[in-house]
């Protein structure tokens, strides 16, 4: 528990939130500034800043929660699709430094069909260096 962290305070119940799922280690609640109706944030209760700092088992369990949320959005809200997004690090637009997964339902009535690729334009330089970067990044 980090007393300055708004999501830790939400976990503790000090700050109110609309909870949609909870178990011993996780919480999923509605984003206060929803990008669509049913926009959920899924978090581990433990204060961890970014995804890469989670253990392998912890991250797997967090994504099972994401899956439960996605199922509920389809079944209960009539979502036809959803975006799963996680901003990690200030440079990536992370505002709250407590790891969270956005699950944003998408509905037929919404005009925009914009997906993740609309967030950042194609980087031409990166496009021209695919082979080189692939070799550098290869994970054994
Ligand atoms: P990110 O850190 O990925 O940029 O986004 C943080 C998200 O947390 C935003 O979408 C914002 O609307 C949401 N948020 C910030 N403060 C609160 C809060 O006090 N309650 C809830 N439910 N959501 C919040
Ligand atoms: Zn926290």
What the block records as the tokens of 123 is 């980087």
Q: Is residue 97 part of a domain?
A: yes
Q: Is residue 81 part of a domain?
A: yes
Question: Read out DSSP for 7-46?
Answer: HHHHHHTSS---EEEE-SSEEEEE-SS-SSTT-EEEEESS
DSSP state of 92: G
- When divided into structural domains, the chain yields a total of 1
Q: What is the mean pLDDT of residues 25-48?
A: 96
How many Å is the maximal CA-CA distance in the chain? Answer: 50
pTM of the model as a whole: 0.94
Residue-averaged pLDDT of the chain: 94
The per-residue pLDDT for 3 is 84
Q: Is residue 98 part of a domain?
A: yes
Is there a catalytic annotation at residue 100? yes
Q: What is the pLDDT of residues 58-85, one digit of tens each?
A: 999 999 999 999 999 999 999 999 999 9
**Which residues face 85 on adjacent strands?**
102
Regarding the beta carbon of 95 and ligand 1, being less than 6 Å apart is answered yes
Q: Is residue 20 part of a domain?
A: yes
Among protein residues, the one with the nearest Cα to ligand 1's atom 5 is 95
**Under DSSP, is residue 104 helix (H, G, I), strand (E, B) or coil?**
strand
- Nearest atom, ligand 1, residue 18 CA: 22
Q: Is residue 1 part of a domain?
A: no
Q: What is the pLDDT of residues 74-132, one digit of tens each?
A: 999 999 999 999 999 999 999 999 999 999 999 998 878 888 777 788 889 999 999 99
The CATH number given to whatever domain includes residue 29 is 3.30.428.10
The per-residue pLDDT for 46 is 98
Q: Which residues span the domain enclosing 84?
A: 6-137
């Amino acid at each position: 528990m980090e007393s300055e962290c708004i999501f830790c305070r939400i976990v503790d119940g000090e700050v109110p939130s609309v909870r949609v799922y909870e178990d011993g280690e996780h919480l999923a609640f509605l984003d206060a500034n929803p990008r669509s109706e049913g926009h959920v944030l899924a978090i581990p209760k433990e204060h961890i800043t970014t995804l890469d700092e989670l253990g392998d088992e912890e991250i797997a369990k967090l994504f099972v929660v994401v899956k439960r949320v996605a199922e509920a959005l389809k079944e209960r809200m009539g979502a036809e699709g959803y975006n799963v997004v996680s901003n990690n690090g200030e440079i990536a637009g992370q505002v709250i430094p407590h790891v969270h997964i956005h699950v944003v339902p998408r509905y037929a009535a919404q005009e925009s069909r914009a997906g993740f690729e609309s967030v950042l334009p194609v980087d031409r330089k990166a496009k021209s260096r695919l082979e080189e970067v692939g070799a550098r990044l290869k994970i054994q």
